[in-house]
Amino acid sequence: MTSNLSLFVSVWIKLCFVFTPFFVLSMFLSMTEHYTEIRRRKLALTVSGSVVIICFVLFFAGNQLFSLFGITLNSFRIGAGALLFLSAVGLVQGKTATADATHDGDIAVVPLAIPVIVGPATTGVLLVLGAELDGIATKGLGSLALLLAITCLCILLLSGSHIQRTLGNRGINILSKITGLILSALAAQMIMTGILGFLEK
C-alpha cells in the first residue's frame, strides 16, 4: 500500500513539473489577453480535455511504438532526457516565454495543447513512463496520477486571472524558472538511468 502511494505521488509530482505549469499559464494569459473571463475559462476546459486525450494516447502507446521502431527503453530515456533538459534550459533562460503568442481562431489544440503543453519533451516523458509502468496495477496508478496532474493544470488555468493579479507576470516568470531548475534535475536522472541501463547489459 505504501509503495503504491509512493509511486502515485512520485508520478503525479513528476508530471506536474513536466507540464511546466507556470510557463503554460504565462502563454495562456498572453494568448487570451483580450478574452472575457467566461471565454477564457471555456478555453481552459477545452485545452484540458484535449490534453487528456493526447496524453493518454501517448501514455498507452509507448511499448507499441518502441517495438514498431526497434527502440530500446534506455535509448528513449536518454533521448527524452536530452529534450527535457533543453526545455529546462529554455525555461531558466526565459527564452521560451517570448514565443509569438498572437493567434486568431481556435487555439485550444494548436498551439496550447500541442506544442505548448505537450511538446517533444513531454511526449518523450509520457512514452517512457507508459513503458516503465507495465503492470495492470501500476499502469492504473500511473493513469490516475496523470489525470490528477492534468486536473491540477486545468485548475491553474481556470484560476489564471486571479493568479496574474496576485503574483503579476514577473512572479509567474520566476516560478517558471524554478520549474526549469527542477526539470533539469529530472532530465539528468532520466539520462543517467538510461546510461546505467546500457552499462548493466
Q: What is the pLDDT of residues 16-63, one digit of tens each?
A: 999 999 999 999 999 999 999 999 999 999 999 999 999 999 999 988
Alpha helices of 94-135 — where are they, by DSSP H? 120-132
Q: Domain map of the chain by residue range?
A: 2-99+111-199
Residue 97 predicted with pLDDT over 60: no
pLDDT tens digits, 110-167: 999 999 999 999 999 999 999 999 889 999 999 999 999 999 999 999 999 999 999 9
C-alpha dihedral, 61 to 50 to 98 to 181, nearest 10°? -50
Residue 185 predicted with pLDDT over 60: yes
Residue 155: all three cell numbers together:
485548475
Query: Does the model's pTM come out above 0.85?
Result: yes
Residues 23, 176 contacting (CB under 8 angstroms): yes
Please report the pLDDT score of residue 113 as a whole number. 96
Cα(147)–Cα(87) distance, rounded to whole angstroms?
Answer: 22
pLDDT grade, residue 3 (50/70/90)?
confident
**The Cα angle at residue 179 between residues 15 and 152, in degrees rounded to 5:** 45
